[in-house]
Amino acid sequence: MHMASASFPFLSAILLSCVAGMIVIMLIPADRKAPIKWVSALFSGLTLVLSLIVFLSYDKSLGGFQFVEKVQWIPSLGISYFNAIDGFSAPNLLLTGIVFFTGVLTMWELENRVKEYFALYFLLVAGVFGLFMSVDLFFIFVWYDVSLFPMYLLIAIWGSTRKEYGAMKLTLYLLAGSALILPAIIYLYAASGLHTFSFISMMQPGHLSPGAQKFAFLLLFLGFGILAGVWPMHTWSPVGHVAAPTGVSMVHAGVLMKIGAFGVLRVAIMLCPLGWIYWAKLMAVLAAVGIIYGALVGLRQIDLKYVIGYSSVSHMGVVGLGLSTVTAEGLNGAVFQMFAHGIMTALLFSSVGYIYDRTHTKLIPELGGLSRIMPVASAFFIVAALAGMGVPGLANFWGELVVFVAAFRTYPVLGLIAVAALVVTALFMLRVVQKTFYGPENERFAKLTDVSPGLGIPRMILAAVLLFLGLYPAFLFDVIQSASVPFMSGLPR
Amino acid sequence: MNLKMAGPEIYYLAASLWFLLATFFEGGFSLREAPPGEAQDSDAAYLRRQHFNALCLALAGILVCLASVYSQGQLFIRAYKLDLFSQVFKVILSLALFLIVCICGEIPDIGRRRSNEFYFLLFTCTLGLMLLVSADHLLSIYLSLEVSSYSLYILVALRRYQGFGLEAGIKYFLIGTFASAVMLFGMALLYSMTGTAYLDDMAKVLPGIIGRPGIVIGLLFTLGGFFFKLAVFPFHLWAPDTYQGASNQVAAYIATASKVAAIAVILRVLAFAGQGSIYLVHVLAVLSVVSMTLGNLAAIVQKDIKRLLAFSTIAHSGYVLIGILVLTPAGYSGAIYYALAILIMKFTAFMVITELASDGRNLRVEDLAGLHRRSPILALALMVSLFSLAGIPPTIGFTGKFLVFVAAIEKGYIALVIIAMINVVISLYYYLLMIRAAYLLEPAEELPPLGVSIPKKLLAGASTLMIVLAGVYPPWLIQLAQSAAQSLIP
């Protein structure tokens, strides 16, 4: 396999700018809120630029792992600080950069405990970045937990609706995931007999017996699956998303759930391909149930954020369905859908956050006619909702299309049912749009102002990305394919 | 016989004697009739001076232990053994004593009248624990265990004003003597089966006859005495009551130094058992699972922070037992590392408590309310130590668990590790409740900011940093634990 070392440690620079940002924020006195926000914007902008550079300079024709950085960390256990990017992680890195930056800008109006919020937010994102770029199993686990532990405070302090319950439920569920992941990782380490946690050494075929792969795959799939919102382990996700403050909801639904799907792909599927083939049917069934269940439950919600939360369950089911097809197309579609869904939910939460900050309600029956009061804010939501319905011309269309084509070939029945569920998704998205933005106005909100240009920037970026990828999907597909095609052709059959 | 090798032991004996002598000479002016205000002033000054002396003595003790870290050999007709294992543990113990003395600046619930006895007992107890980690003969193990235990019984009972002290002391004493009796019975069995009381000689005989019921029962009963110290089920009952009844500082000492030494001596005894027998491993595995599950479940409902931490200690002893029962060098080094982790993270948590309860009262979880505003650094230290106790990376607590789990899975005990990880999830619940209290809850009435002195802030910062650094980049410490474990294997 090709491995290109990095001339400049871009990946570490990304991590470093998160950590440095956090440290600088912690050094600023708590009452100087404006400098804290500017520093946050500066450092998150820097990470966005760096991740964009990494994505653009990833050599698609070469494929394999690039930007490799390796430092021995704990030699006696074969642990090294080992970063590299391949076609699966490059899009996720970019996604994180975009959501991170726009998440900071979205929270520009925050007034309560600003310093702590941004410090914890930077720590959270550092964990996410670390997980996407790490190719050492030990570090993958460490980053997973680093991204987990600021979560409780972020939700419980700055959240809304049943925030303490939501925060506790989310934290415990995600830690339960890590309770399965850690034994599985150590098991792989012991079973391979290589005495290293390096993902790249372990993924060479022949080190793991079929039995070990089947066992470890199940643990890893369930563990990461909790974070990916796989039905029936999804219940933390709507509750947590509703409770979280806007910026955290964005990172959470936009990026953190992708960590789960990415973990399934990176650790479970790539290390235990035989386990993957063995358990693929189970994955497909759970994913299909998730798609239908999320859509049907979403139909009955009256809280805007709950609607988005359940639509996430449904959309992440699409990702799971793509992963379960055991085809290169399925993987392509799944990774594309991860990216598209990340941007889309970030935009949805960001728009709802704006509306909630003004109206102080998220209940659909209390809203109504908002498109006349705040047309711009409404437009952002409607664009994201259209993307969620899979309308051609926006990013999600391609992800869903590719996944369903692959799924039809492998599991015709499940594919059919899942496509039917998409109609329900479209129905509930349209229902929300109609009831919230059209229909009779609530005169309580008639005086509210629309999105200012400053606050519009993050939403515009997100909407632009959705549109750009809708028109030019090859921008992502080419990169993803450089990883999925070699991986599938190397698969034992 | 070369007594120079026993430098740390002689030093701590001398230091404790110094405090004993001080108790004879203090009486002169403390009984003097003086106006109340003046008496209080001189009392406070005397306390400060004695605290400063204790601090200097404890600090010098660390240096003495560090200086003798590479001494090796046997003393007292082979009943006492110095190797890297014992010397590393002596350094850890001296560090523990120093840290505990650091937070003994104010001991309002023990009072000036007993301050000398207090320090005297702290030093003798540390001496006993140091003897324990070096003891290489059944009787020397027993004697040093009792030296440390008796000091602790009195230390617990010293807290007289709050009513619980005596009760806790007596409870601790009764269960302790019961455990000692069990241990002596086990030792007698071991002696009768092997014909020797030297651990070294036993190591030669044991591997051949390890499967015999007499040996297994003898070993388990002997371990019972140490399980009492470590608070492993079924010898855990004293822990919650004793922690609650003892003053905060003494509870901190029991939670740190005493646990560290208990882990050391269990390792010492089991390392001689070689590969062990399957019965022994099974019994230890059951004890481990019951300890952690019981500890974590009981901790959930606790309102008193010290009781909560006591149950969390029981849970932690369960995790440590996993490292011990795999009976491999990797497991031993994991347990050694875990001992250090327990010391640092438990100390940090207790430091925050003693600082917050400056009048020496027992804190409830809701008393933490508003801590993040009253003292951000203490709140941060508490949060980091609690996450470390829960085993969330990158903290020293996680690295400890990781090492233990790696050793267990290499031996094939994956079910045990999964159970332990489920326990970690349970434990995070009550740790989060404490963090919630410190960061989210607001006190019922407005409380002023805590006046934390600069040295205390430094101490809080340093221990927080230590927890994180040892979690982020642990290879040096792991190396140390591994070499110590190597010297343990006969």
How far away is chain B from the Cα of A179, in angstroms, using its nearest Cα? 5
Q: How many CB atoms lie within 10 A of CB A358?
A: 18
Running DSSP on this structure, what letter comes out for residue A4?
E
Q: Considering the entire predicted model, what is its pTM?
A: 0.90
**Closest Cα in chain B, distance from residue A479 (Å):** 32
Burial B69-88 (b: 16+ CB within 10 A, else e): eebeebbeeebbbbbbbbbb
Q: State the DSSP code for A269.
A: I
Name the token pair of B322: 């996993």
Point out the residues of chain A with pLDDT beneath 50. Answer: 1
Given CA atoms A136, A139, A143, A145 in this order, what sign does their dihedral have?
positive
pLDDT in tens, B330-374: 999 999 999 999 999 999 999 999 988 887 788 888 888 888 888
- Would you tell me how many other CB atoms lie within 10 Å of the CB of residue A270? 17
Percent of chain B with pLDDT over 90: 40
Cβ proximity of B467 and B351 under 8 Å:
no
Boundaries of every domain in chain A: 3-486
**Residues on chain B touching A176 (C-beta within 8 angstroms):** 422, 425
Distance from CA of A146 to the nearest CA of B (A): 6
Distance separating alpha carbons of residues A91 and A55, to the nearest angstrom? 7
Chain B residue with CA closest to A180: the answer is B418
* Total count of residues recorded for chain A: 493
* φ, ψ dihedrals at A489, nearest 5°: -75, -25
Q: B160 with B107: CB under 8 angstroms?
A: no
**Of B139, B204, B226, B383, nearest in space to A150 by CA:** B383
Query: Mean pLDDT for chain A?
Result: 87
Q: Which residue of A has its CA nearest to B440?
A: A157
Residue of B267, B416, B397, B379 lying closest to B340 (CA atoms): B397
Q: Is A153 close to B435, i.e. CB distance below 8 A?
A: yes
* pLDDT over 70 (residue B474): yes
What's the gap in Å between the CA of A350 and the closest CA on chain B?
25
- Angstrom distance (rounded) from CA B370 to CA B446: 9
What's the number of CA atoms in the CB half-sphere (13 Å) around residue B153? 14
For the segment B100-127, the average pLDDT, to the nearest whole number, is 83
Residue B386 has pLDDT above 90, yes or no: yes
- For residue A82, what are the β-bridge partners? A70
Pick the residue from chain A with its C-alpha nearest to B442.
Answer: A157
Q: Write the residue in A164, A183, A189 that is nearest to B417 by C-beta.
A: A183
**Record: contact B405-A153, CB cut-off 8 A:** no
Q: Which residues of B touch A (CB under 8 A)?
A: 372, 387, 392-394, 398, 402-403, 405-406, 409-410, 414, 417-418, 421-422, 424-425, 428-429, 432, 435-436, 439-440, 473-475, 478-479, 482
Find the CB nearest A186 among B405, B424, B474: B405
**Alpha-carbon distance A146 to A122, whole Å?**
11
B165-197 pLDDT tens trace: 788 888 889 999 999 999 999 999 989 988 888
Residue B332 with chain A: CB contacts under 8 Å: none
Instruction: Please write the tens of the pLDDT for every residue from B303-336.
Output: 999 999 999 999 999 999 999 998 888 999 999 9
* Local confidence band at B160 (pLDDT 50, 70, 90 cut-offs): low
CA distance B89 to chain A (A): 22
> What token pair was written down for B205?
């005989």
Amino acid at B463: S
Q: pLDDT value at position B490?
A: 66
| C-alpha to C-alpha distance for B339 and B256, rounded to whole angstroms | 9
* Unique residue bearing structure tokens 């996680």: B398
| Contacting residues for B96 by C-beta, under 8 A, at least 6 apart | B126, B253, B256, B257, B260, B343, B347
Distance in angstroms (rounded) separating the CA atoms of residues A15 and B55: 41
Beta-carbon pairs below 8 A across chains A and B? 82
Contact check, Cβ <8 Å, A157/B440: yes
Residue in B373, B382, B409 to test binding to A, most A beta-carbons within 10 Å: B409
| pLDDT surpassing 50 at residue B33 | no
Nearest CA in chain A to B421: A179
Using a CB-CB distance cutoff of 8 angstroms, which residues of chain B are in contact with residue A183?
A: 405, 409, 414, 417-418, 421
**Beta-carbon separation of B428 and A179 below 8 A:** no
Task: List CB contacts (< 8 A) between B398 and chain A.
Answer: 142, 145
- pLDDT at residue number B409: 92
Per-residue confidence (pLDDT) for residue B32, from 0 to 100: 45
Q: Show residues of chain B in contact with A157, CB under 8 Å.
A: 439-440
Residue of B nearest to A172 (CA): B425
Task: Give the mean pLDDT of chain B.
Answer: 86
Q: Which of A219, A235, A128 is nearest to A182 (CA)?
A: A219
Rounded to a whole number, what is the distance in Å from the CA of B469 to chain A's nearest CA?
A: 13
Find, among A210, A164, A135, A475, the residue nearest to A335 by Cα.
A475
Work out the minimum CA distance from A379 to partner chain B, whole angstroms: 36
pLDDT of residue B2: 67
Which residues partner with A3 through β-bridges?
A65
* pLDDT score of B37 more than 70: no
* Average pLDDT estimate for B428-443: 89
| Model pLDDT for residues B194-222, shown as the tens digit of each residue | 888 888 888 888 777 877 888 888 888 99
For B403, residues 6+ apart whose C-beta sits below 8 A from its C-beta are A77, B323, B330, B333, B334, B337, B338, B478, B481
Say if CB B101 and CB B54 are below 8 A apart. Answer: yes
Burial class (CB in 10 A: 0-12, 13-18, 19+), A391: middle
What pLDDT was estimated at residue B298? Answer: 93
Which amino acid is located at A320 in the chain? G
Q: Tell me the C-alpha distance between A95 and A90, whole Å.
A: 9
Instruction: Give A468's contacts (C-beta < 8 A, 6+ positions apart).
Output: A395, A475
